[in-house]
Structure 1
């Protein structure tokens, strides 16, 4: 049980690190007229063909339906981005885990949902990341070793998804749904346990972002796994944190590249950019300081998401451009609303809704598996039963995330006067 608890803490640290990046990017874009103009240019092709099917964008008719533009699909993508942004802004974690399952729940093919999510992250990264402010904290050798592994990982992950789709589209759908069922089920279960535990001693206001006890339960580099890995002197050795530790720390480049390989594979398979794993991997596994990790993580997200989105999905027609832009637009709004709402809502309530939203995503993906397995002739069940199960899973998911969104917006509008006074 202790092992699974540590895995949960690792994943939550991952989600929080990625959420911090998402919120920084959102602030950077919305506070810059140049970046807002760039966003308008990205949206312009969609606006020009409003109400008309247009299939010649990235992810056109060579991709797999629904890959054409329609107003309804675009609105749905904004809603998905909005919900993910609300979760990120409110909880400071986990919003990115919802996007691919939500796209699949909206009827988008799994491989197209993964590619589109990656492209959305890449577009957000190149628009909003203030790299020049962070480069002073980047260990170039560490970054090169990590990205060498990440680049290979993106090709392996992309090859797995494309190979499964070419073999049988249903197999690809079942694989992606299965991966998300395991991840969301694990996170949702522990998030619910945390909610129950914290509900006995609730905080007054806020979402506990940044002050969670989780960090205290994990070692950050002086003992444990980081110390053992740093003691393995397998050349080439990479030295880092020279400014913080006399003589610096060192770790084998092969270990760093192996970590990059894992991150690249996860990014290409799940469509989450890889950044959600990099931060805790550097801090809690490699023993790198948080200062050095931040800059390297920013470069990693841009490189990994861009390579996976373009080289593994877009060139094969697996990116739905209009969906990506809609999600970007919705997430920018959702993050800002969610972050403001944490000032007036008790964190325990937000944690409860977060657990429900994640579990709803788990139920949604898990409920689709029986039908896919029946269609693949792996199991035998009545078709009426598996179709009904899939329908119930879909209804529960949209009801849960919709209720979460309505609750957050009701709190936001009810406290507009307070927000204006603070501003």
Structure 2
């Protein structure tokens, strides 16, 4: 069961990674979108000015502003680095880059609720700027998508309200809850990924999949839910003989996915996949298309109505993450042409476990400050800082290795893109 859940989350991560790669490429190839990106990036000059002047008036985004845009110069420059790292993971590994953004921003000193809101806004900005035809990413079923979006809006609203309520009650408790959830999620992903890396035998999961990558037939739960005639009924997967499911069940799934996305600041695909494929009996291709189609709606609604309107989005940090991730994704995707897949999987496991250690090490200090455990403030700070250094040390090593590999292999990569070289023996794809 846990293995199936891990595989579902990884399927969702790979689908979202492919969407991010195509989205960023769509932005970089379009002059108008590059111009829009430049205009959107103009506020990035604010941290540079603030760094030089040391003081920034609240009216243009200082710390006391309603919607602050500046935290510190190091935080801003760190957001670009975080975006690059997340982009490299997404582009090179093809999965999981978005999971590190919120924990990384929190490690830079950003409050958990601000990190979540900023991450959601960065996803929304990327989606609205680089939207690609979702038909290319899978079979979009608009009936399922509509029911999902309705449910997602409810879930996103609930998640945002809980995050804000926790923060207003006790900011430390808010950070603790977000960190604890990430500890569970990243620990689960990281240890499974590391286990997969060390396994010598190949998984036989392909033998149990249909042409769409979903399970052969349906699970007993999927069969039971599809047999319930609860209006409105939605027909889908006509190419598989036709199936139908109640829109109520789809909306409930959307609510759960939206709630998780709003709490954590990431796409809800890691929840959508197991619920759709194993719970509702929807094929993987339809799940991919439906989930990616709704990103712009759920991320936009959540980031604006649940976080931005309450001042919980750092716009300059969001733009820093966006710029860094767009270019990091391209470098990572190109580098896969010259990097062995086994090494890439190893670094993915290490990067995710680094995030796990980072958030785990932050918990003692927060428990101590709330009085739940007896811990000297200096000791708690030491443990937390150690986790921060381990996290950034490991991901920095990963980033330097990928970028270095990219630079060293530039001649080979250029040669592989040359039509004349491809016609020769030296241009045969590896």
TM-score, normalised with respect to structure 1: 0.90
CA distance in 1, matches of 2:95, 2:398: 15
Give the alignment partner of residue 64 of structure 2, picking from 54, 61, 64.
Answer: 61
CA distance in 2, matches of 1:13, 1:133: 18
| 1:106 corresponding residue in structure 2 | 108
Give the alignment partner of residue 365 of structure 2, picking from 371, 374, 387.
Answer: 371
Query: Retained in 2: the 8 A contact 1:341–1:408?
Result: yes
Give the alignment partner of residue 38 of structure 2, picking from 26, 37, 40.
Answer: 40
- Alpha-carbon distance, 1:167 to partner: 0.7
| 1:220 corresponding residue in structure 2 | 215
- Alpha-carbon distance, 1:132 to partner: 7.1
Query: Retained in 1: the 8 A contact 2:8–2:270?
Result: no
Give the alignment partner of residue 334 of structure 2, picking from 329, 332, 340.
Answer: 340
CA distance in 1, matches of 2:243, 2:60: 47
Query: Retained in 2: the 8 A contact 1:29–1:36?
Result: yes
| 2:426 corresponding residue in structure 1 | none
| 1:160 corresponding residue in structure 2 | 162
- In the TM superposition, 1:270-309 aligns within 5 A as 270-279=264-273, 281-309=275-303
Greater CA drift, 5-14 or 363-372: 5-14
Provide Cα deviations, 1:140-163, integer angstroms capped at 9, x if missing partner. Answer: 221111111100000110011001
- In the TM superposition, 1:72-221 aligns within 5 A as 72-131=74-133, 137-198=139-200, 219-220=214-215
| 1:10 corresponding residue in structure 2 | 8
SS in 1 for 2:358: helix
Greater CA drift, 297-306 or 178-187: 297-306
SS in 2 for 1:51: helix
Provide Cα deviations, 1:5-27, integer angstroms capped at 9, x if missing partner. Answer: 22211211121111111111111
| 2:379 corresponding residue in structure 1 | 385
| 2:323 corresponding residue in structure 1 | 329
SS in 2 for 1:68: coil
Query: Retained in 1: the 8 A contact 2:59–2:65?
Result: no
Alpha-carbon distance change, 213 to 241 in structure 1, aligned in 2, over 3 angstroms = same
Query: Retained in 1: the 8 A contact 2:47–2:76?
Result: no
* 2:363 is the alignment partner of 1:357: no
Alpha-carbon distance change, 12 to 213 in structure 1, aligned in 2, over 3 angstroms = farther
CA distance in 2, matches of 1:136, 1:49: 40
Query: Retained in 2: the 8 A contact 1:59–1:318?
Result: no
Provide Cα deviations, 1:208-243, integer angstroms capped at 9, x if missing partner. Answer: xxxx8656566436221433322232222111233x
CA distance in 1, matches of 2:162, 2:61: 21
CA distance in 2, matches of 1:26, 1:282: 27
- Alpha-carbon distance, 1:90 to partner: 1.2
- Alpha-carbon distance, 1:403 to partner: 0.5
CA distance in 2, matches of 1:282, 1:223: 11
CA distance in 2, matches of 1:297, 1:216: 25
Query: Retained in 1: the 8 A contact 2:138–2:288?
Result: no
CA distance in 2, matches of 1:8, 1:250: 26
Query: Retained in 2: the 8 A contact 1:64–1:112?
Result: no
Provide Cα deviations, 1:255-312, integer angstroms capped at 9, x if missing partner. Answer: 1011001111011000003244435543443333444334422331001101110000
Provide Cα deviations, 1:24-61, integer angstroms capped at 9, x if missing partner. Answer: 11111111111111111111232377423365578963
* 2:262 is the alignment partner of 1:268: yes
CA distance in 1, matches of 2:60, 2:28: 25
CA distance in 2, matches of 1:185, 1:298: 25
* 2:400 is the alignment partner of 1:402: no
SS in 2 for 1:250: strand
Alpha-carbon distance change, 217 to 348 in structure 1, aligned in 2, over 3 angstroms = farther
